[in-house]
Amino acid sequence: MRGEYSDRILEQKLKNENYIYQKLHFFPSFSILKSLGEKVQLQLSYSRRISRPIDFHLNPFPSTFSSSVISIGNPELQPDFPNSFEFNITSDFNLFTLNINNFYIYTENATTQVISLNNNGTQVLTFENMNFNRFIGSEISTTFTLLKVLKLSPSANIYSMESKGKIDDYDANYKTLTFDLSLNGTLKINKSTKFQLVTTYSGKSVTQQGYMFPNYFLTASLNQDFFAEKLSITLQARNLFNSNHIKFDEFGQNFNTKLDYRLETNIFTINVSYKFNNFKKNALMQGKTIDNEI
């Protein structure tokens, strides 16, 4: 059990207004671990945390993103409090590992971005505390190696999302089922050369005021080591096949907006690193005692 007292005072000197948030919070947590032989472990846990609003979300002065979009913070915004229940199953076999994470996350006073349209036709982004958000789902991941040269780490996450609250005096409630898939593959070409491919796919999901359409990302990299792994050069390619593409459909009482975000081109980077020494902790630095011999 942990206790925390929040004492926040925001002074708005132009309007001579103060925004005060003072409250005592408690954060219980527990974890139970059980081993089933040498290969399988079960874990049941609960934790309550706090997520405080950042300065940008609190700043009441407008920030201009473009000629048609501005953002105004909410100085009365309060922290939100995620409550997380998890039941995890971890198995480590000779040929592969398997992890199953079952979760239930309930967030009190959840913070969400709210979009409105003012009289000038400008979109206004701000932030409000909703009633609650709830996520229930399972994530399954595994890691295995094929022919000693190809390491694969696929994962699948399927979950239900639910939120309740009010925006501009109308109910902004939603509930949906969605999923995420990912694959991380590493091919060991030889002792000093590796090729890695990382891809993710997210299904259609909902927001407080709209939808985010399915999207995927694809990144590839090639790593080459030289001089007994002292010199390492990595070539990375992002946005392959124009994969970094996100689409939203957002709506309110007097507007409907379609957003389409995409990178204009492929991105290639080269990273070079060199180790000047292969420093290893001696026995004294590791907390061991060495007897001096005379």
- Render the burial of 96-130: b for 16+ CB within 10 Å, e for the rest: eebbebebbebbbebbbebbbbeeeeebebbbbbb
Q: What is the mean predicted confidence (pLDDT) over 34-46?
A: 93
pLDDT of residue 34: 94
Residue position matching structure tokens 């399988």: 40
pTM: 0.80
Q: What is the mean predicted confidence (pLDDT) over 32-43?
A: 93
- C-beta neighbour count of 208 within 10 angstroms: 20
CB 116 within 8 A of CB 209: no
pLDDT of residue 151: 95
pLDDT of residue 280: 56
Summarize pLDDT for 113-144 with one digit per residue, the tens: 888 888 888 889 999 998 789 999 999 999 99
pLDDT above 80 for 290 = no
